[in-house]
């Protein structure tokens, strides 16, 4: 038997095994994100109705059980504070929409394992518009909305 | 090496109130520079948080989240000593993370 060749083959096998292990590790770390792959179709939608349907928030029913806090006037549309919470039992996710923005879907938050249906963040608004908060609960979509006057738009252009 | 996510967590009556901030330009891809050239989009689009390794919050963002994103969320059933980790990635594949121990 050709010993050097056998040696090479053994090493090659080891290398392949190591590469496979490394590869599976990469797959695993990518898998952690699999539950939240960026929904490019929804976030690049240019109309509110496309944004609703592509993000799974279509056919929303108005609800006063979503509490939305935001200023009445935004002097700087690039930083508008938004805070929202849902009192609808079984709320699993909440999303922020600004129908008059170039891309109406702003953000979509999913609550898991004890997280409460509450979000606070800061958003950009191109012009005076409504801010809509949608909530998913038991397969249904609920919405509340408030208008806000924007004196200087914040999307650039 | 991940860029940092700044975290401030407050634990009261088993509820963790978590505030986080990431330094990021959040470029929309809609703005132009002085020469009239479009500034390419560069924004964080995926955020996730775990408590002791269990996912508690996952978010997807678009270009409408403000520069230097701030966000706040709340988790019930949290206790002192719990490990909170927040991770994020942007559309160019750069990653961001931060962690803290609740107390």
User: Domain-by-domain residue ranges, chain B?
Assistant: 3-101
- What is the CA B77 to chain-centroid distance, rounded? 21
Please check whether residues A51 and A96 belong to one and the same domain: yes
Please check whether residues A101 and A139 belong to one and the same domain: yes
Long-range (24+ apart) CB contacts under 8 A made by B10-17 are B11/B78, B11/B79, B11/B80, B11/B102, B11/B103, B14/B76, B14/B77, B14/B78, B14/B79, B15/A116, B15/B74, B15/B75, B15/B76, B15/B78, B16/B51, B16/B74, B16/B75, B16/B78, B16/B82, B16/B84, B16/B102, B17/B72, B17/B74
Q: How far is B101 from chain A (nearest CA, A)?
A: 17
Residue A79 lies in a domain: yes
pLDDT of residue A22: 44
The answer to ipTM > 0.90 is yes
Please check whether residues A66 and A15 belong to one and the same domain: no
Please check whether residues A61 and A87 belong to one and the same domain: yes
Please check whether residues A46 and A110 belong to one and the same domain: yes
- Domain span holding position A19: 1-36
A chain contacts of residue B58, beta-carbon cutoff 8 Å: 35-36, 109-110, 112
Please tell me whether residue B78 adopts helix, strand or coil conformation. Answer: coil
Residue A46 lies in a domain: yes
Long-range (24+ apart) CB contacts under 8 A made by A50-59 are A51/A97, A51/A103, A51/A104, A51/A105, A52/A97, A52/A134, A55/A95, A55/A105, A55/A108, A56/A136, A56/A141, A57/A95, A57/A97, A57/A134, A57/A136, A57/A141, A57/A143, A58/A141, A59/A141
Q: Which residues, given as ranges, of chain B have pLDDT below 50?
A: none
Please check whether residues A20 and A45 belong to one and the same domain: no
pLDDT tens digits, one per residue of B20-46:
999 999 999 999 999 999 999 999 999
Could you give the C-alpha distances from A95 to A49, A66, A109, B55, B97, in angstroms and in order? 14, 12, 6, 18, 23
User: Which of 85-104 (A) contact B at CB < 8 A?
Assistant: 96, 98, 101-103
Residue A156 lies in a domain: no
Please check whether residues A53 and A130 belong to one and the same domain: yes
B chain contacts of residue A113, beta-carbon cutoff 8 Å: 51, 54-56
Number of domains in chain A: 2
B chain contacts of residue A100, beta-carbon cutoff 8 Å: none
Please check whether residues A29 and A50 belong to one and the same domain: no
Please check whether residues A29 and A47 belong to one and the same domain: no
Please check whether residues A53 and A124 belong to one and the same domain: yes
Residue A135, C-beta contacts closer than 8 angstroms, at least 6 positions apart: A63, A66, A86, A88, A91, A93, A94, A117, A141, A142, A143
Say if the Cβ atoms of A105 and B51 lie within 8 Å. no
Q: What is the CATH number of the domain that holds A85?
A: 2.60.40.2470
DSSP conformation class of B9: E
Evaluate whether A104 touches A54 at the Cβ level (below 8 Å).
Answer: no
pLDDT in tens, chain A (157 residues): 455 555 554 554 444 444 444 444 444 444 344 456 999 999 999 999 999 999 999 999 999 999 999 999 999 999 999 999 999 999 999 999 999 999 999 999 999 999 999 999 999 999 999 999 999 999 999 999 999 999 977 766 4
Say if the Cβ atoms of B59 and A80 lie within 8 Å. no
Nearest CA in chain A to B60: A108
CATH number of B3-101: 2.60.40.10
The verdict on A28 touching B (C-beta cutoff 8 Å) is no
pLDDT of residue A156: 60
Residue A157 lies in a domain: no
Query: B4: how many CB neighbours lie within 10 A of its CB?
Result: 12
The verdict on B50 touching A (C-beta cutoff 8 Å) is no
The verdict on B38 touching A (C-beta cutoff 8 Å) is no
Please check whether residues A86 and A141 belong to one and the same domain: yes
The verdict on B55 touching A (C-beta cutoff 8 Å) is yes
pLDDT of residue A152: 79
User: Which of 97-156 (A) contact B at CB < 8 A?
Assistant: 98, 101-103, 105-116, 118-125, 154-156
Task: State how far the Cα of B72 lies from the Cα of B82, in Å rounded to an integer.
Answer: 18
Please check whether residues A59 and A19 belong to one and the same domain: no
pLDDT of residue A15: 47
């Amino acid at each position: 038997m050709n010993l050097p060749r056998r040696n090479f083959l053994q090493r090659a096998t080891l290398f392949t095994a190591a590469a496979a292990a490394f590869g599976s590790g990469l797959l695993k770390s990518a898998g952690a994100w699999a539950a939240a792959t960026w929904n490019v179709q929804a976030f690049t939608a240019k109309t509110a109705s496309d944004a609703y349907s592509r993000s799974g928030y279509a056919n929303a029913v108005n609800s006063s059980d979503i509490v939305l806090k935001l200023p009445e006037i935004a002097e700087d549309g690039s930083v508008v504070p938004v805070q929202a919470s849902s009192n609808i039992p079984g709320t699993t996710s909440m999303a922020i929409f600004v129908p008059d923005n170039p891309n109406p879907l702003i953000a979509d938050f999913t609550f898991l394992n004890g997280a409460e249906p509450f979000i606070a963040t800061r958003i950009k608004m191109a012009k005076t518009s409504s801010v809509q908060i949608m909530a998913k609960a038991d397969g249904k979509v609920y919405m509340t909305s408030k208008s806000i006057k924007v004196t200087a738009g914040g999307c650039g252009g | 090496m991940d860029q940092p996510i700044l975290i401030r967590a407050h634990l009261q009556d088993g509820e963790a109130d978590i505030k986080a901030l990431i330094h990021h330009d959040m470029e929309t891809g809609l703005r132009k520079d002085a020469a009239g050239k479009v500034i390419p989009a560069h924004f964080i689009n995926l955020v996730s948080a775990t408590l002791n390794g269990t996912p508690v919050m996952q978010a997807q963002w678009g270009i409408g989240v403000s520069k230097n994103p701030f966000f706040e969320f709340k988790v019930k059933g949290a206790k002192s000593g719990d490990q909170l980790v927040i991770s994020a990635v942007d559309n160019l594949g750069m990653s961001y993370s931060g962690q803290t121990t609740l107390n």
